[in-house]
Amino acid sequence: MATEQAKVHVDDLQRGMFVSRLDRPWTRTPFALQGFYIRDLADIRQLQKYCRYVYVDVVKTTGDVGLKLRRMVSASGSRAGSGAAGRKRAIAIPCRPVQVSHQAHPLPSPVRREAHRARRLYGELDTAMRNLSAQLETGRPLPLVEIRRNAESLVDSVLRSPDAAAWLARVRDRDAHTYSHSIRASIWAMLFGRHIGLRHQDLVRLATAALLKDVGLTCLPQESVTTDRSDPRGELEYRKFVELSAQLLSADTQLDPQVTDIVRAHRERHDGSGYPRGLRGDKIPVLARMCGIVTFYDEVTNPRDARVPVAPSTAVARLYDLRDSAFQEQLVVEFIQAIGLYPTGTQVELSTGEIGVVVEQSYERRLKPKVMVVLDSDKQPLPKARLFDMAADDDAKQKLIDRGSLSVDDKIRIVQSVTPDLYASVDVAAVRDSYLFSRRQLPSLLGRIFRPSRSGSRG
């Protein structure tokens, strides 16, 4: 049944209302992507800061206000909820909800405990992918046993500490081989799969498929891979890589057939607009849907031949706009929750005006990560960078707010993520190394974090 929504001005909001949509993208606000109940005046004041009006789910809204809204909708018929309810409703795409268990895996261990193992694993993955590329070029059998072994190691590492792997996916060094699209996509897939509680066997399948999904590209002429595919003929030629990948993988009888199924369907789309077979909804295997999402996310954040990655918030906004069309809405929301609106390694601006780098997530409070603050409110390097635990700071201030000593406005929040090249003086890789691998006190190493500014760059 379609959701009924009523457009409500923020000055008319009341406790018990369920806010299901805003007048602006969710990703530009600190609110939960899946909607939320208004619990108190503080929630209303927060909404008033960002919005002029919102859309309220009249079915989920509780108490007397819920009864009144439902009566209004019933009385006015199709005129009520002129926003989302008045939009042209798409034909429902058959797709059962994916079973999710957020408590299936233990809480992550501290990122520093896993960092060294993750770095070694990444080197092994890099070597394995180089070997794969070399053997594809010579026509020799693919080293799939080695790839699967590395996929299993990646799964185990991400189960122990998702942040350690996320750091490696976020920071690009000069070596193009080291941070290849396939390895990054596999890491995002593992963060995603861990979050929704996939079984170990399915995690290995998904990781292996993400690593191998593009092997067919080597069978295409180079110009088909690198040129602009706005020409329909060029796009059709490029799309052949999916079936070519599946054919290469299915030739190996030792490879799990489900891995090949994921690869064959990872470019299919929820609404049937994908390829090669135009599958839609439930016809696309769940793991292939997930592989499609992480592929899209990494292609947006790290576009081919781009000098610097795109801000994660940009990729999240594009992905969210494609929910229930290109991608299943439930999985889009779960993926965004898995990586956070501000993934590890992201540069962010705080409400204080300071610039920092997200160094570790708070898995129960995704909008309150640990941040290494490196630039002051004037965007100048701090003499000593400082580690700022947003969740702990928020808890401490909430106690003072409850006692009336502070107001809600005194809480520090992330205002926005920052385009990676905006403050060129910040060396994110050095922040990573200082936080993950140094045994000394962090401030003593922070002279390495700031690079000389390039002409025209801020900071």
CATH number, domain containing residue 274? 1.10.3210.10
Verify that 175 and 310 share a domain, yes or no.
yes
State which of 320, 339, 358 marks the end of a domain.
Answer: 339
Verify that 418 and 334 share a domain, yes or no.
no
> Tokens 């190493």 correspond to what residue?
445
Domain count, the chain: 3
Going across the sheet that includes 18-22, the strands are: 5-9, 53-57, 18-22, 36-37
Residue 13 lies in a domain: yes
- Is the pLDDT reported for residue 26 higher than 80? no
Name the amino acid, one letter, at 11: D
In order of 388, 391, 392, 404, the CA distances from 397 in angstroms are 14, 10, 9, 10
Verify that 245 and 365 share a domain, yes or no.
no
Residue 246 lies in a domain: yes
Verify that 333 and 359 share a domain, yes or no.
no
Residue 427 lies in a domain: yes
Q: Mean pLDDT for the chain?
A: 83
The strand pair at 18-22 and 36-37 is best described as antiparallel
Verify that 58 and 148 share a domain, yes or no.
no
The first and second tokens of residue 338, run together, are 């898995």
State which of 56, 79, 102 marks the end of a domain.
Answer: 79
pLDDT of 14 reads 85
User: Positive or negative, the Cα torsion across 229, 232, 238, 239?
Assistant: positive
Residue 424 lies in a domain: yes
Verify that 303 and 363 share a domain, yes or no.
no
Mean pLDDT across the stretch 290-310? 84
- Is the pLDDT reported for residue 415 higher than 60? yes
Task: Tell me which residue range forms the domain holding 36.
Answer: 5-79
Extended strands (E) in 58-185: none
pLDDT of 256 reads 95
- Is the pLDDT reported for residue 2 higher than 60? no
The first and second tokens of residue 60, run together, are 């989920």
pLDDT of 195 reads 95
Q: Which of these, 201, 324, 36, 301, lies nearest to 44 by C-alpha position?
A: 36
pLDDT of 268 reads 97
State which of 79, 106, 136 marks the end of a domain.
Answer: 79
Verify that 289 and 184 share a domain, yes or no.
yes
Q: What is the pLDDT of residues 199-253, one digit of tens each?
A: 999 999 999 999 999 999 888 877 777 666 666 677 888 899 999 999 999 998 8
Verify that 366 and 334 share a domain, yes or no.
no
Indicate the length of the chain as a whole number: 459
In order of 119, 267, 440, 452, the CA distances from 184 in angstroms are 14, 17, 30, 28
Residue 105 lies in a domain: no
Q: Which of these, 146, 46, 102, lies nearest to 409 by C-alpha position?
A: 46
Residue 94 lies in a domain: no
- Is the pLDDT reported for residue 86 higher than 50? no
The first and second tokens of residue 287, run together, are 């793991």
User: Positive or negative, the Cα torsion across 24, 30, 32, 37?
Assistant: negative
Mean pLDDT across the stretch 101-130? 90
What count of Cα atoms within 13 Å lies in the side-chain half-sphere of residue 214? 17
Residue 279 lies in a domain: yes
Verify that 189 and 130 share a domain, yes or no.
yes
Residue 89 lies in a domain: no
What's the whole-model pTM score? 0.77
Of 75-84, 214-223, 350-359, the poorest mean pLDDT is in 75-84
